């Protein structure tokens, strides 16, 4: 059994400063961080490198297009990466999907990161495209997979329903901490999530209100992070199946 912690975080271009974001990430102690709205404009590379150093993590993939990044702790192996620009819509921001095939203590795990558009039509198409791209990546790199996304919508929206038609909403199934993720200063909506394939054993997922100083979360970004604890390996599935999860 291998326990694994994943953080999904829209960092709002580091407008709250990399130090505030680093304090949030450090408090969560994740194995992998999926960032949305990573810096992509002026001095974007140096600003991302400063954040990487601050949190002591290594970029598996950090592309300007789409403002996404997937970072991992030293000791995890990266076997393959993929980055796809999703369908472009005139007048809307370019969206993309980043994916990494990892080995965690010898066990495979595919991690994907996405940020969908506020426009309902574009968002629905991008959600479907991301699911198809992830399925194709998983076919070439067998293993369980998780998608960390700023879905730009709440449960019940067509794009969210499309995601959960084939993937499991980790925070809905095994809630932990807070639920709403936006806006950070007075959260009212759950627009960020971690979505898992059926062979991923989720222990708990949600906004880590018991781990992170609320002032740091409010200062770091306009979104709150979503933290998910999962278990890899058949032994973990068997053990967890004999007792309640989410505690």
Question: Per-residue pLDDT tens for 188-224?
Answer: 999 999 999 988 999 999 999 999 999 999 999 999 9
Distance, CA of 88 to chain centre = 22
Helix residue spans in the chain (DSSP H): 18-28, 44-55, 120-140, 158-166, 170-173, 214-220, 234-240
Helix residue spans in 60-206 (DSSP H): 120-140, 158-166, 170-173
Using DSSP, how many helices (H) and how many strands (E) does the chain show? 7, 12
C-alpha 79/C-alpha 92 separation (Å) is 33
The pLDDT value given to residue 41? 80
Mean pLDDT of 58-63: 92
CATH architecture, range 2-240: 4-Layer Sandwich (3.60)
Q: Look up residue 39 and give its DSSP letter.
A: -
Phi, then psi, of 226 in degrees rounded to 5: -120, 125
Other C-beta atoms lying within 10 Å of the C-beta of residue 141 = 18
Sign of CA dihedral 51, 57, 63, 66: negative
pLDDT above 70: percentage of residues in the chain = 94
Q: Is 206 left (phi over 0), alpha (psi -120 to 50) or beta?
A: left
Go through the chain and tell me how many residues it has: 247
- 41 against 239, higher pLDDT: 41
Confidence check: pLDDT of 237 > 60: no
pTM value surpassing 0.75 = yes
The pLDDT value given to residue 167? 97
C-alpha 155/C-alpha 28 separation (Å) is 24
Going by pLDDT thresholds of 50, 70 and 90, the confidence category of residue 44 is confident
Tens-place pLDDT, residues 100-147: 999 999 999 999 999 999 999 999 999 999 999 999 999 999 999 999
The edge-to-edge listing of strands for the beta sheet with 96-104 is 77-85, 96-104, 107-115, 145-150, 192-196, 168-169
Going by pLDDT thresholds of 50, 70 and 90, the confidence category of residue 39 is confident
Tens-place pLDDT, residues 25-34: 999 999 999 9
Going by pLDDT thresholds of 50, 70 and 90, the confidence category of residue 245 is very low
The strand pairing partners of 77, in sequence order, are 103
Phi, then psi, of 103 in degrees rounded to 5: -125, 120
The pLDDT value given to residue 219? 94
The pLDDT value given to residue 244? 33
| Most confident segment among 40-44, 62-66, 197-201 | 197-201
Other C-beta atoms lying within 10 Å of the C-beta of residue 21 = 27
Cβ contact 115:34 at 8 Å: no
Mean pLDDT of the chain: 92
The pLDDT value given to residue 234? 60
Confidence check: pLDDT of 180 > 60: yes
């Amino acid at each position: 059994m291998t326990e694994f912690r994943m953080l999904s975080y829209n960092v709002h271009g580091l407008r709250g400063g990399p130090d505030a974001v680093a304090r949030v990430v450090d408090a969560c102690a994740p194995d992998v961080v999926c960032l949305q709205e990573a810096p992509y404009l002026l001095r974007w590379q140096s600003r991302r490198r400063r954040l990487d150093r601050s949190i002591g993590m290594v970029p598996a993939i950090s592309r300007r297009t789409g403002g996404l990044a997937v970072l991992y702790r030293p000791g995890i192996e990266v076997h393959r990466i993929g980055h796809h620009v999703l369908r472009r819509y005139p007048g809307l921001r370019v969206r993309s999907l980043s994916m990494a095939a990892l080995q965690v203590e010898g066990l495979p795990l595919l991690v994907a990161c996405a940020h969908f558009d506020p426009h309902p039509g574009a968002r629905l198409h991008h959600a479907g495209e991301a699911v198809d791209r992830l399925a194709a990546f998983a076919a070439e790199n067998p293993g369980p997979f998780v998608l960390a996304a700023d879905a730009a919508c709440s449960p019940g929206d067509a794009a969210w329903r499309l995601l959960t038609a084939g993937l499991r909403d980790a925070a809905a199934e095994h809630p932990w901490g807070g639920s709403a993720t936006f806006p950070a200063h007075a959260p009212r909506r759950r627009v960020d999530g971690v979505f898992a394939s059926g062979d991923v054993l989720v222990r708990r997922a949600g906004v880590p209100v018991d781990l992170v100083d609320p002032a740091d979360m409010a200062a770091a970004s306009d979104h709150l992070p979503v933290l998910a604890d999962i278990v890899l390996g058949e032994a973990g599935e068997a053990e967890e199946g004999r007792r309640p999860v989410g505690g």
